[in-house]
Homo-oligomer: A and B are copies of this chain.
């Protein structure tokens, strides 16, 4: 038997992918330690532990991180009112550094030079995971199989993994693959990929409005159509009002410096707010959107404070108007019991590229590039760590 290339701590979930990676890493000559963090997902942890041992893991660590996840990650998120692009409460983003920190701790404790994970080469998680590792353990080597040609060229789809599993004694899941990928933790459950890669696919369907912002509203059920600004706004108010959409009770800060309380009902406005934001995110470049969003904050404040007719508000309106050049399309949504649910969207100027983002199709994208991207983003983090370590030594 050849000499070991070293020890890898693998972020192990018990599922098909990381089970195959575990065996594949051994095949490549590594010793593997499986690491499985409990951040609140539904999982048979005992079964996962047995399975990892059976597949040849040298050691298996299962850690309950739920308390530190809530106290050290979720609480700061709540304190910050952290929200991404106005809507997403960052459930997965919060869990990643918590898990990676645990994994690094084990790697150092066990003297392992390598860590590995099953995140794909197109997602955010690879970045969150690896930046944390580089920041806390700057000399670590990271094995990211889904970015290695010898791996991703061998496993082109789920069938290849199933085949490999059968040949290597890896238990194969009996239930069919769900139509999307889920990430569950204490904070949230997210669904991604699979059929969701088509942004038009409707997940829940209760009552449907078809909206072109802001030129036409169609009720898919009863075929009501409105196509003038006023008429469609009145119609949305009627629909929204019936369902109690957009009611808030808030404390707010007046321009003159006192706090007051208000209750607001904004049925049609709330529906349009969600529909517009959805089609905007669909069609507007990410960086343009960030700049536009900072202008919108200024616009909102100008508006609230009474400066509509001011040179600065004229200027900001001009800029925001420019940003809307390509914001067009159809949004399908459901108004139900006080909520507006976005169901699907389509647009001739969509910047969404299904092939590019798909986990099954390569698209015009080389997953190896993400490795360089991450390493360069980590240059600064490792320098910081170097300086901190120097200080800690002295102290």
The answer to whether A263 touches B196, judged by C-beta atoms less than 8 angstroms apart, is yes
Residue A304, interface by CB 8 Å = yes
Q: Give A208-231 as 1s and 0s: 1 = Cβ < 8 Å from B's Cβ atoms.
A: 000001100000000000000110
Inter-chain CA distance A364–B140, complex, in Å, is 13
Residue A142, interface by CB 8 Å = no
Inter-chain CA distance A270–B77, complex, in Å, is 11
Instruction: List residues of chain B with CB within 8 A of the CB of A357.
Output: 254, 258-260
* Among listed A8-16, A52-60, A156-164, A278-286, interface-contacting one: A278-286
A77, A84, A127, A311: most-surrounded residue (chain B CB, <10 A): A311
Q: Number of A interface residues, CB 8 Å?
A: 167
* Among listed A42-50, A108-116, A317-325, interface-contacting one: A317-325
Residue A377, interface by CB 8 Å = yes
* Chain A interface main SS type: helix
Q: Give A362-395 as 1s and 0s: 1 = Cβ < 8 Å from B's Cβ atoms.
A: 0011101111110111111111101100010000
In this complex, what residue of B is CB-closest to A293?
B81
The answer to whether B252 touches A300, judged by C-beta atoms less than 8 angstroms apart, is no
The answer to whether B88 touches A353, judged by C-beta atoms less than 8 angstroms apart, is no
Number of copies of this kind of chain in the complex: 4
Inter-chain CA distance A189–B272, complex, in Å, is 16
Which residue of the partner chain, among B96, B123, B373, contacts A373 with CB atoms under 8 Å?
Answer: B373
A331 to chain B, nearest CB (A): 10
A259, A288, A349: most-surrounded residue (chain B CB, <10 A): A259
A67-B230, A316-B291 given; A311·B252 CB < 8 A: no
In this complex, what residue of B is CB-closest to A247?
B341
Residue A87, interface by CB 8 Å = yes
Which residue of the partner chain, among B130, B188, B229, B337, contacts A264 with CB atoms under 8 Å?
Answer: B188
Which residue of the partner chain, among B213, B229, B256, B337, contacts A379 with CB atoms under 8 Å?
Answer: B256
Q: Give A343-370 as 1s and 0s: 1 = Cβ < 8 Å from B's Cβ atoms.
A: 1010001111100110000001110111
A276 to chain B, nearest CB (A): 5
A260-B357, A306-B96 given; A81·B277 CB < 8 A: yes
Residue A152, interface by CB 8 Å = no
Inter-chain CA distance A378–B272, complex, in Å, is 33
A186-B237, A264-B188, A291-B295 given; A304·B70 CB < 8 A: no
Q: List CB contacts (< 8 Å) of A59-110 with chain B.
A: 66-67, 70-71, 73-91, 93-94, 96-97, 101
> What are 30 A-B contacts with C-beta separation under 8 Å?
A70-B229, A76-B317, A78-B213, A78-B214, A80-B299, A82-B300, A83-B296, A83-B300, A85-B252, A89-B266, A101-B309, A124-B254, A124-B304, A127-B255, A128-B306, A131-B309, A186-B268, A192-B262, A197-B260, A199-B251, A250-B278, A257-B376, A285-B311, A285-B312, A319-B319, A353-B386, A356-B383, A370-B372, A373-B373, A373-B375
